Protein backbone atom coordinates (compact mmCIF):
# COMPACT_ATOMS: atom_id res chain seq x y z
CA UNK A 1 0.00 0.00 0.00
CA UNK A 2 1.72 3.18 -1.12
CA UNK A 3 0.68 6.70 -0.28
CA UNK A 4 -2.30 7.40 1.92
CA UNK A 5 -4.41 4.31 2.70
CA UNK A 6 -8.15 4.53 2.18
CA UNK A 7 -10.76 2.84 4.40
CA UNK A 8 -14.46 2.42 3.67
CA UNK A 9 -16.83 1.53 6.52
CA UNK A 10 -20.10 -0.06 5.38
CA UNK A 11 -23.29 -0.94 7.25
CA UNK A 12 -26.86 -1.16 6.03
CA UNK A 13 -28.16 2.28 7.02
CA UNK A 14 -24.85 4.19 7.36
CA UNK A 15 -26.43 5.84 10.40
CA UNK A 16 -24.67 4.30 13.41
CA UNK A 17 -21.77 1.86 13.39
CA UNK A 18 -20.12 2.95 10.15
CA UNK A 19 -20.52 6.64 11.07
CA UNK A 20 -18.98 6.08 14.51
CA UNK A 21 -16.10 4.08 12.99
CA UNK A 22 -15.43 6.78 10.40
CA UNK A 23 -15.54 9.41 13.15
CA UNK A 24 -13.03 7.48 15.25
CA UNK A 25 -10.65 6.90 12.33
CA UNK A 26 -10.75 10.57 11.28
CA UNK A 27 -10.13 11.55 14.92
CA UNK A 28 -7.27 9.09 15.53
CA UNK A 29 -5.56 9.17 12.11
CA UNK A 30 -5.96 12.84 11.24
CA UNK A 31 -5.28 13.26 7.55
CA UNK A 32 -3.00 10.20 7.28
CA UNK A 33 -5.91 7.98 6.16
CA UNK A 34 -8.68 8.70 3.68
CA UNK A 35 -11.95 7.79 5.42
CA UNK A 36 -15.29 6.97 3.80
CA UNK A 37 -18.53 5.47 5.07
CA UNK A 38 -21.59 4.27 3.22
CA UNK A 39 -24.67 2.08 3.48
CA UNK A 40 -26.42 -0.38 1.22
CA UNK A 41 -29.77 1.21 2.21
CA UNK A 42 -28.92 4.58 3.78
CA UNK A 43 -31.18 6.10 6.43
CA UNK A 44 -32.46 9.68 6.35
CA UNK A 45 -30.08 10.85 9.10
CA UNK A 46 -27.31 9.71 11.40
CA UNK A 47 -28.69 8.04 14.55
CA UNK A 48 -29.06 10.88 17.12
CA UNK A 49 -28.01 8.55 19.95
CA UNK A 50 -24.80 7.70 18.05
CA UNK A 51 -24.20 11.44 17.55
CA UNK A 52 -24.66 11.98 21.31
CA UNK A 53 -22.37 9.07 22.26
CA UNK A 54 -19.62 10.40 20.00
CA UNK A 55 -20.10 13.98 21.26
CA UNK A 56 -19.28 12.66 24.75
CA UNK A 57 -15.78 11.74 23.53
CA UNK A 58 -15.26 14.98 21.61
CA UNK A 59 -16.15 13.77 18.11
CA UNK A 60 -18.79 15.73 16.20
CA UNK A 61 -20.90 13.76 13.73
CA UNK A 62 -23.56 16.44 13.25
CA UNK A 63 -22.30 17.35 9.76
CA UNK A 64 -22.33 13.74 8.56
CA UNK A 65 -25.13 12.29 6.44
CA UNK A 66 -25.84 8.70 5.42
CA UNK A 67 -24.50 7.95 1.95
CA UNK A 68 -25.35 5.19 -0.52
CA UNK A 69 -22.58 2.68 -1.19
CA UNK A 70 -21.26 3.10 -4.71
CA UNK A 71 -18.99 0.97 -6.86
CA UNK A 72 -16.61 3.96 -7.18
CA UNK A 73 -16.26 4.41 -3.41
CA UNK A 74 -15.48 0.72 -2.99
CA UNK A 75 -13.06 0.66 -5.92
CA UNK A 76 -11.19 3.66 -4.49
CA UNK A 77 -10.76 2.03 -1.05
CA UNK A 78 -7.87 -0.17 0.09
CA UNK A 79 -9.74 -1.64 3.06
CA UNK A 80 -13.49 -2.27 3.29
CA UNK A 81 -14.90 -2.87 6.77
CA UNK A 82 -18.42 -4.29 6.81
CA UNK A 83 -20.60 -4.22 9.90
CA UNK A 84 -23.48 -6.62 10.02
CA UNK A 85 -24.83 -6.10 6.53
CA UNK A 86 -24.26 -9.70 5.45
CA UNK A 87 -25.30 -10.39 1.87
CA UNK A 88 -26.38 -6.77 1.36
CA UNK A 89 -22.71 -5.76 1.29
CA UNK A 90 -21.27 -6.39 -2.17
CA UNK A 91 -17.82 -7.93 -2.51
CA UNK A 92 -15.28 -6.17 -4.68
CA UNK A 93 -12.38 -8.29 -5.95
CA UNK A 94 -8.88 -7.52 -4.76
CA UNK A 95 -9.90 -5.52 -1.70
CA UNK A 96 -8.93 -6.24 1.89
CA UNK A 97 -12.09 -7.04 3.85
CA UNK A 98 -12.84 -7.09 7.55
CA UNK A 99 -16.26 -7.91 8.93
CA UNK A 100 -16.89 -6.48 12.38
CA UNK A 101 -19.74 -8.12 14.27
CA UNK A 102 -21.15 -5.26 16.32
CA UNK A 103 -24.47 -4.59 18.04
CA UNK A 104 -26.66 -2.38 15.87
CA UNK A 105 -27.17 0.85 17.85
CA UNK A 106 -30.51 1.58 16.14
CA UNK A 107 -33.21 1.88 18.80
CA UNK A 108 -30.77 1.19 21.63
CA UNK A 109 -30.42 3.31 24.77
CA UNK A 110 -27.36 5.54 25.20
CA UNK A 111 -25.60 3.12 27.58
CA UNK A 112 -25.67 0.36 24.92
CA UNK A 113 -24.52 2.78 22.20
CA UNK A 114 -21.61 3.83 24.45
CA UNK A 115 -20.49 0.19 24.62
CA UNK A 116 -20.67 -0.09 20.82
CA UNK A 117 -18.76 3.20 20.48
CA UNK A 118 -15.98 1.96 22.77
CA UNK A 119 -15.73 -1.40 20.98
CA UNK A 120 -15.50 0.41 17.65
CA UNK A 121 -12.68 2.59 19.01
CA UNK A 122 -10.70 -0.50 20.02
CA UNK A 123 -11.15 -2.03 16.56
CA UNK A 124 -10.30 1.22 14.77
CA UNK A 125 -7.13 1.59 16.85
CA UNK A 126 -6.06 -1.94 15.85
CA UNK A 127 -6.87 -1.27 12.18
CA UNK A 128 -4.92 1.99 12.23
CA UNK A 129 -1.90 0.31 13.86
CA UNK A 130 -2.02 -2.38 11.16
CA UNK A 131 -2.25 0.20 8.36
CA UNK A 132 0.77 2.03 9.77
CA UNK A 133 2.76 -1.22 9.96
CA UNK A 134 2.10 -1.97 6.27
CA UNK A 135 2.92 1.43 4.79
Residues tagged active-site? 11, 85, 89
Q: Environment class of residue 67 by beta-carbon count within 10 Å: exposed (0-12), middle (13-18) or buried (19+)?
A: middle
- DSSP annotation of 87: G
The answer to whether the beta carbons of residues 24 and 59 sit under 8 Å apart is yes
Please state, in angstroms and rounded to a whole number, the distance separating the CA atoms of residues 93 and 75: 9
Give the three-state DSSP class for 27.
helix
Amino acid sequence: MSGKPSVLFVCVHNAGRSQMAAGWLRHLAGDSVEVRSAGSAPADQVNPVAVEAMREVGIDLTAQAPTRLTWDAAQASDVIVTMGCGDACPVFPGKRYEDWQLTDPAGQPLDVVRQVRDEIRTRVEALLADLRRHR
